């Protein structure tokens, strides 16, 4: 990536300490909702550019958003991955979203902590707490209930 681009990303996206989504407002989005930029004469998405900057060896991998927010350019929310991982992510998120409205998925912080510390398999844990497998998964990988991890 040319120096100019790197400088641009540094200036436009000072990201340290930011855990929230950084919404790109300086560039127009393409039809898929990804803000785009012209780099080296090629139109590319800014999220991809950011991903490449922080993962120089990503090659042809896709840049995946962990936050589902296509206009987000927070490097912490974008990681390289395969198309398959992308689809798996999407379907896991879909299942998690569906579970949110169900009464049995309402967990207390204590329960979330118990799930996090559970040594049972994901499936067994989900069963004993009456929650979706994806809920357990997200707690385990620290995607949900981030605030409880500060005390771990």
| Interacting residues with Zn ion (CB under 5 A) | 21, 67, 69, 72, 74, 77
Q: Specify the residue, 49 or 115, whose C-beta has the smaller distance to Zn ion.
A: 49
Three-class DSSP category at 88: helix
Q: Specify the residue, 129 or 138, whose C-beta has the smaller distance to Zn ion.
A: 138
CB of 117 to Zn ion, least distance (A): 27
The helix or strand, by DSSP H or E, that contains position 63, with its residue range, turns out to be: strand 62-65
CB of 22 to Zn ion, least distance (A): 7
Q: Specify the residue, 35 or 107, whose C-beta has the smaller distance to Zn ion.
A: 35
The helix or strand, by DSSP H or E, that contains position 132, with its residue range, turns out to be: none
CB of 20 to Zn ion, least distance (A): 7
Of 120, 115, 123, the residue nearest 141 (C-alpha): 115
Q: Specify the residue, 48 or 77, whose C-beta has the smaller distance to Zn ion.
A: 77
Residue 63: half-sphere exposure toward Cβ, Cα within 13 Å: 25
What angle do helix axes 133-140 and 122-129 make, rounded to 10 degrees? Answer: 120
Q: Specify the residue, 69 or 118, whose C-beta has the smaller distance to Zn ion.
A: 69
CB of 124 to Zn ion, least distance (A): 32
CB of 118 to Zn ion, least distance (A): 28
Instruction: Round to whole Å and give the CA distance between 2 and 4.
Output: 5
Instruction: Round to whole Å and give the CA distance between 49 and 129.
Output: 41
Instruction: Round to whole Å and give the CA distance between 136 and 127.
Output: 10
């Amino acid at each position: 990536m040319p120096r100019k681009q790197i400088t641009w990303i540094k200036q436009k996206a000072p990201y340290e300490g930011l855990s929230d989504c950084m919404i790109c407002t300086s560039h127009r989005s393409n039809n898929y909702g990804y803000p785009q930029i012209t780099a080296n004469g090629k139109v590319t998405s800014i999220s991809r550019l950011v991903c490449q900057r922080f993962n120089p060896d990503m090659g042809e991998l896709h840049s995946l958003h962990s936050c589902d927010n296509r206009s987000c350019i927070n490097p912490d929310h974008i990681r390289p991955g395969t198309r398959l991982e992308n689809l798996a992510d999407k379907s896991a998120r879909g299942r998690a979203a569906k579970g949110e409205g169900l009464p049995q998925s309402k967990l207390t912080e204590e329960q979330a902590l118990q799930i996090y510390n559970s040594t049972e398999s994901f499936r067994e844990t989900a069963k004993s707490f009456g929650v979706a497998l994806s809920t357990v998964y997200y707690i385990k990988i620290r995607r949900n209930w981030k605030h409880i991890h500060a005390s771990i």
